[in-house]
Amino acid sequence: MFLYYKPLKYLLVVKGINNGQKKTWSFAVIKGIILKKFHDNSSVLADCAVINTRRIYYLSIIAIPLRIIDIYLFAFTKSYDTLVQKTWSQGIIASHSILLIFMIGFFLTSHKLKNRIEPNATMFVLQYLVMVVIMTSGIAIVTLDQLVTTNITPFLIVCIVSGSVFLIRPLVSFLIYVTSYVAYYCLIGLTITDQHILLSNRVNGITAIGLGFLLSIILWHYNYTNIVQKRRIEVQQKQLEQMAYYDPLTDLPNRRLLEKLVKREFSSMQRYGYETILIILDIDNFKNINDTYGHRAGDDILRQMADLLKNNVRESDTVARFGGEEFIILMPNASVEEGYAYAERLRNLITETRFTIGPIELQITSSFGISSMRDINSQTLEDYYFLADKALYLAKQSGKNRVEKANGDRD
């Protein structure tokens, strides 16, 4: 593979081994790739804010008692021989005390937010604030530690904790770690007088920063992949549910879903003692429409009928396509008289509506059958359907374009 740069065209040309083809990358293409990556990372920020808030809550539960123990150990150790040691001890106590106050605040805030599903502005700010406070505390403590020791363990710990706990997008994480290292680089120079030790700790600080940033990238990539895969699975599940329970032509619940809803409604009726009505309607002379204008035109009529029904039922009602040109309306908490009056209004509305097949307008009528689910002792959809279908048959036999009520007799 050969790389070379053309300054006049600002191109990066990569000569591959696939049939001698050249793959040309312009800066516009590279910019597009970067922007896409930025957009992809941005798409999971809300999920990460929710996860980070919960992690802050549990981190606070651990950090608060640890800070109290640290303060106690330093406060009750009296064997300080020099002013430098006393200054170091007092500085460490002050640093841990300030961090303790912050962690208590973080605990109280995250406790209120940890059960939220959707993030708010506080959660977005909180995650960055916690990371900055933790990094700052580590830098402050390691700077004070240089008065009595040469190790940089506190700084290494906060780098690892920040990188392995918080889900921070790589760009922001990079800026936080770089800024932290600059602060670390400058501040330890205030308490280290030996230039060899100073150089060694600054070099070791680069390792700490690199390790933390590496953990941050790994954690982000892992969780980003999981979040994206989870979303894809949810979409696929919704698609499967749509295929299994909804009619593909009208987007109404199909017979399978209707049966589940009817059984659930039957249980609610028994528990709360109200009445539920089933209305079945059939488009009159629908076969003539198919024969005259074709099945595609018939499908258009069915879609228009479905939209009309969906837009003219109560919020508590369910409209389903039962099959062919038959639709069922499930009306919870309604009497037979109310169902009859409602069906009459629908019948008049359908009669007054002009259905269209391209430039052609059609007047369509429908017949209705009504039954009460209270009259059914069984819990199969066929039994629920039987009485309403019997009433529909009577409406058809009586001249169509009418509403009939079931008498509750299966014979």
Question: What pLDDT, on the 0 to 100 scale, is given for residue 374?
Answer: 78
At 251-261, the pLDDT tens digits run 999 988 988 88
Pick the closest to residue 395 from 373, 376, 369, 375 (CA basis). 369
Tell which wins on pLDDT, 48 or 79.
Answer: 48
Query: What kind of fold does domain 255-405 have according to CATH?
Result: Alpha-Beta Plaits (3.30.70)
What is the band of 368 on the pLDDT scale with cuts at 50, 70, 90? very high
Question: What pLDDT, on the 0 to 100 scale, is given for residue 378?
Answer: 56
What is the band of 78 on the pLDDT scale with cuts at 50, 70, 90? low
Average the pLDDT over each of 12-16, 32-36, 167-171, 222-226 and give the range with the smallest value: 12-16
* Rounded Cα–Cα distance for residues 312 and 207 (Å): 68
Q: Across all residues in the chain, what is the average pLDDT? A: 87
Tell which wins on pLDDT, 154 or 20.
Answer: 154
What is the band of 17 on the pLDDT scale with cuts at 50, 70, 90? very low
Strand, helix or coil at 103?
A: helix
Question: What pLDDT, on the 0 to 100 scale, is given for residue 117?
Answer: 87
What's the rounded mean pLDDT across residues 168-176? 93
Question: What pLDDT, on the 0 to 100 scale, is given for residue 16?
Answer: 44
What's the rounded mean pLDDT across residues 56-61? 96
Long-range residue pairs from 350-356, CB within 8 A, at least 24 positions apart, any chain: 350/305, 350/308, 351/401, 353/308, 355/301, 355/304, 355/305, 356/300, 356/304
Say which DSSP state 202 is in.
H
At 98-132, the pLDDT tens digits run 999 999 999 999 999 999 888 999 999 999 999 99
Question: What pLDDT, on the 0 to 100 scale, is given for residue 15?
Answer: 42
What's the rounded mean pLDDT across residues 181-202? 94
Backbone φ, ψ for residue 246 (5° rounding): -130, 145
Question: What pLDDT, on the 0 to 100 scale, is given for residue 65?
Answer: 96
* Rounded Cα–Cα distance for residues 124 and 167 (Å): 11
What's the rounded mean pLDDT across residues 148-156? 93
Residue ranges of domains in the chain: 2-41, 44-237, 255-405
At 276-298, the pLDDT tens digits run 999 999 999 999 999 999 999 99
- With a cut of 90, say whether residue 168 has pLDDT above it: yes
What is the band of 8 on the pLDDT scale with cuts at 50, 70, 90? very low
Q: Residue 282 has which token pair? A: 């059939």
Question: What pLDDT, on the 0 to 100 scale, is given for residue 10?
Answer: 40
Question: What pLDDT, on the 0 to 100 scale, is given for residue 31?
Answer: 66
Question: What pLDDT, on the 0 to 100 scale, is given for residue 5?
Answer: 40
* Terminal CA-CA length for the chain: 85
